[in-house]
Amino acid sequence: MNNICIEAPLNKLSFGNVSFAILREFYKNGYHPMIFPIGNQVDIAGQKQDDDFNKWLESCINSSILKYKKDYPSLKLWHINGSMQSISSSKSCLFTFHELDTLTPHEINILKNQDKVFVTSKYTQEVFSQYGVESVFCPLGFDSHNFYQLKNRPKIDGVTSFLMGGKWEPSRKRHAKILHLWVKKYGNNPKYKLNLAITNPFLKAEDLQKMLSQVLEGKDYHNINFIPWTETNAEYNSVLQSSDIVFALAGGEGFDLVAYHATALGALPIGLNAHVYKDYLNDKNSVLINPNSKFPCYDGMFFHPNQPFNQGNFFDWSEDDFGKACEAAETRVKENDLNLEGLKLQKDTYDKTFKIIESSIFSV
């Protein structure tokens, strides 16, 4: 069970964490694939220590060039942009994230030249289908290797805490809008706290602080807690359980690992009833807001107009609905400080993700 080549980012970022989780399933199921780290870099320091898996990973990487063959199936975990080339000459499969409502001709051509395309969202699958691109719906799962429930959540009595996570993207993730509306409603009220875990490794610290200051109009708020970049998932496990309520209001997401895991660990999400959120959030485990419009994706940071990739629109929501959802979420966490329905997401593990990949690739 060794005849598969895998290209994947192996780092501390979201895609890297997904790659490690999927590779761990290959390891558990007795595979010894040829692994080619994208960028030729491996940073496993953020993962929970597992010596046997680490040795397996090193062996798979070190033997990859010696053992690979062009007629072996290959799996690439990467963005559409940059997935033109494949280790395989006949059985290339792409596992990718997509966040927008359209595909460009360049993206369509790359996707149609794959033997299989895996997507993590039914919404993405529908978008691809509109452009004649077939794909396999392959949702992610709860990363039980790195995350677990704490016996005592870091809770402050008498304070309702909110979490805004994910790397800072003021437009797509609606971070700027959420922050602006939250301080408008709760700023400097000692009964409420906002935990910000939004460090973006692609931005300089001073640039991020400048953007935050602009949103806050230069004012100081004693009930905003800025959480520095966490080096390990063990540290991030505590961050995910630091708050009663988590925001899941991005205009577009491939999956949103932060919202998913925070919900699975007991936080109550205020979620947008759109795109991938509809796959795992519902009225029982969330307070949902319906989208009211769409807006162009261009933000001057990660999305630019008239480019061959990443063109289209994101979903938006209203200020009034945001306020009502916050109040509804407050009521629910006071009634039950742990989201018992959210905990059920822990049952959806990466084993299911792996089985979809395995059956699909070897049926190509």
- For residue 328, the SS3 value is helix
The CATH number corresponding to 160-347 among 3.40.50.2000, 3.40.1160.10, 3.30.1130.10, 3.40.50.1110 equals 3.40.50.2000
Could you tell me the residue ranges of all domains in the chain? 5-141+350-361, 160-347
**Statement: residue 364 has pLDDT above 60:** no
Looking at residues 46-73, what average pLDDT do you find? 96
The predicted structure's pLDDT at residue 73: 95
Q: How confident is the model at residue 117 (pLDDT cuts 50, 70, 90)?
A: very high
**Statement: residue 316 has pLDDT above 60:** yes
**Statement: residue 260 has pLDDT above 70:** yes
**Bigger pLDDT: 201 vs 110:** 110
**Statement: residue 155 has pLDDT above 90:** no
Q: What is the pTM of this model?
A: 0.96
What average pLDDT does the structure give for the chain? 96
Neighbour count for residue 144 (Cβ, 10 Å): 14
Indicate if the alpha-carbon torsion angle 215, 193, 293, 202 is positive or negative. Answer: positive
**Statement: residue 14 has pLDDT above 80:** yes
CATH topology of domain 5-141+350-361: Rossmann fold (3.40.50)
Looking at residues 117-124, what average pLDDT do you find? 98
The predicted structure's pLDDT at residue 113: 96
Three-point CA angle 104, 299, 173, nearest 5° = 95
The predicted structure's pLDDT at residue 89: 80
Give the rounded distance of the alpha carbon of 313 from its chain centre. Answer: 19
Looking at residues 23-28, what average pLDDT do you find? 98
The predicted structure's pLDDT at residue 1: 57
Q: How confident is the model at residue 23 (pLDDT cuts 50, 70, 90)?
A: very high
Are domains 5-141+350-361 and 160-347 of this chain identical in fold?
yes
